[in-house]
Structure 1
Amino acid sequence: MGAARLLPTAFCGLLLPLMIAGRGLLHASKNDQPQLTKDYCINYNSLKTLPSTLSGTSSTNLIVLTHKLLCNHSEVLTEQIKDKAVAIKRGTCTFLEKADIAESHGAKILLIVSETELVSPDVNVSIQVALIRNVDILDMQKTLGNNINVTLYSPPLPTFDYSLVVIFLIAVLSVALGSYWSGMLELENLKASASSGSLESQGKKEECVLTPPLTVVFVIMSAVMLILMYFFYKWLVYFFIAVFCLSSAMSLFSCLAVLIRKIPFGQCRVTFRNASFEVRLIFLAGICMATSIVWGVFRNEDRWAWILQDILGASFCIHLLKIIKLPHFKSCVILLSLLLVYDVFFVFITPYITKSGQSIMVEVAAGPPGVKEKSDGNLLEASAERSAPHEKLPVLIKVPRLQFFSIPTCDVQFSILGLGDIVVPGLLVAYCHRFDVQTSSSSVYFISNVIAYALGMVITFVALALMKMPQPALLYLAPCTLIAAALVALCRKEMKKFWNGSTYQVMDLTANEENAPTAREQPRRQ
């Protein structure tokens, strides 16, 4: 399997930020019977904070106008919604346009009623904006009647979310296994080169070497792909789902086949058109493809599909670390530095550029904010049929939050980490292990960089907890891994070799061998 088949998904996976989606609650009570209450899940405007408890909060009278879209001022009268919470239908125009109209008419709260998935309506307005399901509005009216008061609040989450431990383990193990595999293949290549007297070996056919020019092209293509996803999400998302299904199935097969081949049983073979195949590998290929297909069909089943996605995603990362190689530390510095700038720009800078005030990276990671409506960010007109904003890009590790609101109507909430935040630092760790193999340095570079990567993940989690917003993980992972690798090289006084690459000694040895016969033959010619 060539690296070119995996690169489209790799482009898209660079880089989705580690983030936890916010969720709040709407507390509804009957006006003439305040003891009769019920809570409902909402996605609120995270640019504005909500109280953490109901104590000391005041309720707002709700007016339900779900037959209106609130896309122009003539749809409502000021006296109709002033100082009230207004519930209107989702669709046609952007969240920002709806919020501006509601704010101009004096509304306190805007509830956008959705029949599809809830997203975060992050718009820069002074009133509170939230999305709520249409079924919840109907249940509210059925349970509490039409004279309802509402209050929005966001109960505090646990100080520590145990889903981050699972993400940490998946990320660190993927980096360690993929980098270790890359080093072992380098060792096999060296042994093959020594026995054949040639630097070429069978194992190098699958390699994709990222030289500095290719590294720059790779980063540019990643940025272009992210922008295309931002503007044409509802079409491209299906392309990347298909690519992910194919490439992850191939990666899972590649990872498991290594283990299967070490089992000394069941090695019977079948012959087809002068080609011989192991039966157990044929069955393994069927299992891997079936796993990918099952995920593809049930990818929106939040209760269990994330397990298959994480297995496929981790396999994809491990296999990518095996076949993509950085030839020297110089390429590592260029790649991680450029992607660090790329990551920070698309997470922290683009909110000042987009109309919605949301970063391009987060919108692509979470999916565009609407069905049958314009997207706040890309202003694309949606058609009347169901489009793809409910679809999510699969190029991430996702783990459900293990502690959340105990409200039956709430969706499963996930902590997510982009595959790029595993692969990109992992390429440096893989290079370190290959250099260890080349210099017989007892895996000191490899072990120190795995520890540095783990430390960078911990720092990312701390920043996430302190800042309460999506974090570009490379902002912490890149410096940790680069500094650790450089310090080890400096302490061992090997910076020149480390900078020039893992092939430094091999190239030097080859040059000496080529020159030696010439020197011996020269006296004969004389």
Structure 2
Amino acid sequence: MWCLSLQVLGKHGVARFSDLGASRGKDYCINISSSWTLSPLQHPNTSTVEVYDLTQSVLCSDSDVPDAGFIGRIAMVTGGNCTFYEKVHLAENNGAKGLLIFTIEDLIFPNGNTSQYEEITIPLALLSYADLLDIRTHFGDRKQVALYSPDEPDVYFSVVVIFILAVGTVVGGGYWAGVREHEKRLQGEECKTEEMSPKIISLLVASCCVWLVLLYFFYDHMVYFFIVVFCLVSPVGLYKCLWPVVCRIPVGMCRVPENMVPCLKMRPDLRMVLLAVLCASVSIIWGVFRNDNRWAWVLQDILGMAFCMYLLKLFRMPSLRACTLLLGGLLFYDVFFVFITPYFTKSGESIMAEVAGGPSVSSTQEKIPMVLKVPSLNFTAVFCSWPFLLLGLGDILLPGLLVAYCHRFDVLVQAPRVYFMASVLGYSVGLVLSFVFVLLMKSAQPALLYLVPCTLLFSLPVALWRSELKLYWNGGRFL
């Protein structure tokens, strides 16, 4: 659930600062917009321009302009008090060759009037306030800058990476579910599941709608609830995924001494305690540094993948009929909130995309953590706040329930994992289709629209071929 989208805060470029006349400098990330600027040169080997540091001013009126103007120089000013257009208009009228605006907020260009865009003939770029402090530290009063924009595709390996992560999670969770089913049957344990009625499924879909609408209207408050929930439940999934590996390590098998600590009264193995501390530490570190786009996304993806795999092992769908009803209902939910809601929102953006990436009107920089996120892995990603490719955990977990059901059904009919492999192939094809449509349409897509039909349609022919369609559809008490 959520949606598959490319979260773009603008086109990123590079500002190479150096002391006036010096050859060596330092690169900083800038946010540029073709609507506001002429395209900067493509390579750093271009002539540099002297900088006029006016960062003590916001450049909103003629009184802020120096007496001699900015003739032949790039002006540096602070954001605020007036529109970007007013700032760049003043700079251009007073001879500036470009304008750099430092801002404390995210490097996002606002909407503006098209006719105003066409009037601007000098480059305009945004830099972070943290970079301003760094520039003041490293360079003297007289400095120069070269602006350029590497000619790179929007998406390099990020699509491949998120594909591997998503499919790997589905394969891992589905395989784990089948192995657990096989072990239970070998041990003679009865595998009970309750049939999911249409009423229960309708309630699940309705609850998803309610939560999403609450998030949309009360995002600044609800987002913290989801962050806390993610921090509490994700380390459980990580622990459950790592324990089967750790338990095979013949180290730390001694039990903790007798104690009165509530969670240690049962005297668990030392390795269990250490693993629990490790998993909790990963969650805490992510919680503290979650907004550091340079590396926090790695921890978020690890926690999210582990939690999804654990849930796929834990939850047991009773039949293909239940899977179809659940996935069909949530497919409709996904499509409605991505394709239909833009007609009802003031911004014209879908509710799903707004919630997944954070509403533009939100006063907080927080993002919902229930997504896999991978940055655009290109040159500027080394030091920029990258645009992210987002895939909701629901788009892994929900089709993954069908994949897990298929592997358990393989165990039931003693098939050589044919249902499992067919469903994984279907999920992979559906994910590729969703990526293709994201890149072609340049907009968020309801991933379940592609994942659900493909996963179902790839597994059903196997049941027909093996003459097991009725058993596959009903499942019943066997699963």
Q: Label 1:483 to 1:352 Cα distance change in 2 as closer, same or farther (>3 A).
A: same
Q: Label 1:470 to 1:216 Cα distance change in 2 as closer, same or farther (>3 A).
A: same
Distance 1:167 1:461 in 2: 10
Structure 1, residues 394-440: CA drift from partner, whole Å, max 9, x if none?
Answer: 212222322143785x3233322221111111111011111111111
Aligned-residue offset at 1:113: 6.2
Q: Does 1:423 align with 2:383?
A: no
Q: Does 1:365 align with 2:356?
A: yes
1:297 is matched with which residue? 288
Question: 1:433–1:445: 8 Å Cα contact kept in structure 2?
Answer: yes
Question: 2:216–2:354: 8 Å Cα contact kept in structure 1?
Answer: yes
Question: Which of 192, 200, 214 in structure 2 is aligned with 1:228?
Answer: 214
Matched letter for residue 253 of structure 1: Y
Question: Secondary structure of 2:268's match?
Answer: strand
Q: Label 1:54 to 1:314 Cα distance change in 2 as closer, same or farther (>3 A).
A: closer
Question: 1:19–1:471: 8 Å Cα contact kept in structure 2?
Answer: no
Question: 2:283–2:303: 8 Å Cα contact kept in structure 1?
Answer: yes
Matched letter for residue 355 of structure 1: K
5 Å matches for 1:22-421?
22-25=10-13, 114-116=103-105, 118=106, 120=108, 123=111, 126=114, 127=117, 133=128, 156-158=151-153, 161-192=156-187, 195=188, 211-264=197-250, 266-270=252-256, 275-369=266-360, 375=361, 388-389=364-365, 391-405=366-380, 410-421=384-395
Distance 1:486 1:449 in 2: 9
Q: Label 1:234 to 1:261 Cα distance change in 2 as closer, same or farther (>3 A).
A: same
Q: Label 1:227 to 1:348 Cα distance change in 2 as closer, same or farther (>3 A).
A: same
Question: Secondary structure of 1:405's match?
Answer: helix
Aligned-residue offset at 1:131: 6.1
Question: 1:244–1:395: 8 Å Cα contact kept in structure 2?
Answer: yes
Q: Label 1:263 to 1:112 Cα distance change in 2 as closer, same or farther (>3 A).
A: same
Question: 2:181–2:408: 8 Å Cα contact kept in structure 1?
Answer: yes
5 Å matches for 1:457-468?
457-468=431-442
Distance 2:390 2:32 in 1: 19
Distance 1:217 1:119 in 2: 40
Aligned-residue offset at 1:254: 0.9
Structure 1, residues 471-493: CA drift from partner, whole Å, max 9, x if none?
Answer: 32222212210111222222222
The count of residues paired between Structure 1 and Structure 2 equals: 445
Specify every segment of 5 or more residues in structure 1 that has no aligned partner in the other structure, as ranges: 1-13, 29-37, 56-61, 71-85, 370-374, 383-387, 508-526
Distance 1:407 1:272 in 2: 49
Question: 2:12–2:29: 8 Å Cα contact kept in structure 1?
Answer: yes
Matched letter for residue 248 of structure 1: S
Distance 1:258 1:183 in 2: 15
Question: 2:11–2:33: 8 Å Cα contact kept in structure 1?
Answer: no
1:80 is matched with which residue? none
Distance 1:330 1:338 in 2: 12
Matched letter for residue 5 of structure 2: L
Distance 1:227 1:425 in 2: 23
Distance 1:159 1:315 in 2: 28
Distance 1:123 1:234 in 2: 22
2:444 is matched with which residue? 470
Question: Secondary structure of 1:267's match?
Answer: coil
2:65 is matched with which residue? none
Distance 2:249 2:27 in 1: 55
Structure 1, residues 172-223: CA drift from partner, whole Å, max 9, x if none?
Answer: 111011111112222233344xx46x556xxx8xxx9755433322222222
Distance 2:151 2:337 in 1: 28
Specify every segment of 5 or more residues in structure 2 that has no aligned partner in the other structure, as ranges: 17-25, 44-51, 61-74
Aligned-residue offset at 1:295: 1.4
Question: 1:18–1:418: 8 Å Cα contact kept in structure 2?
Answer: no
Distance 2:77 2:236 in 1: 47
Distance 2:291 2:454 in 1: 35
2:424 is matched with which residue? 450
Aligned-residue offset at 1:90: 6.9
Structure 1, residues 152-178: CA drift from partner, whole Å, max 9, x if none?
Answer: x97653376112222111111110111
Q: For structure 1, which segment, 392-401 or 479-488, has the greater mean C-alpha deviation from structure 2 after superposition?
A: 392-401
Distance 1:100 1:246 in 2: 45
Q: Label 1:179 to 1:367 Cα distance change in 2 as closer, same or farther (>3 A).
A: same
Question: 2:103–2:129: 8 Å Cα contact kept in structure 1?
Answer: yes
Distance 1:337 1:122 in 2: 38
1:495 is matched with which residue? 469
TM-score (norm 1): 0.68
Q: Label 1:263 to 1:132 Cα distance change in 2 as closer, same or farther (>3 A).
A: closer
Question: Secondary structure of 1:415's match?
Answer: strand
Distance 1:173 1:464 in 2: 21
Q: Label 1:216 to 1:88 Cα distance change in 2 as closer, same or farther (>3 A).
A: farther
Matched letter for residue 161 of structure 1: Y
Distance 2:401 2:40 in 1: 42
2:409 is matched with which residue? 435
Question: Secondary structure of 1:330's match?
Answer: helix
Report the aligned-residue RMSD.
4.7
Distance 1:492 1:47 in 2: 58
Distance 1:499 1:187 in 2: 20
Aligned-residue offset at 1:346: 2.2
Distance 2:99 2:207 in 1: 39
Question: Secondary structure of 1:325's match?
Answer: coil
Matched letter for residue 239 of structure 1: F
Aligned-residue offset at 1:88: 10
Percent of aligned positions that are identical: 43
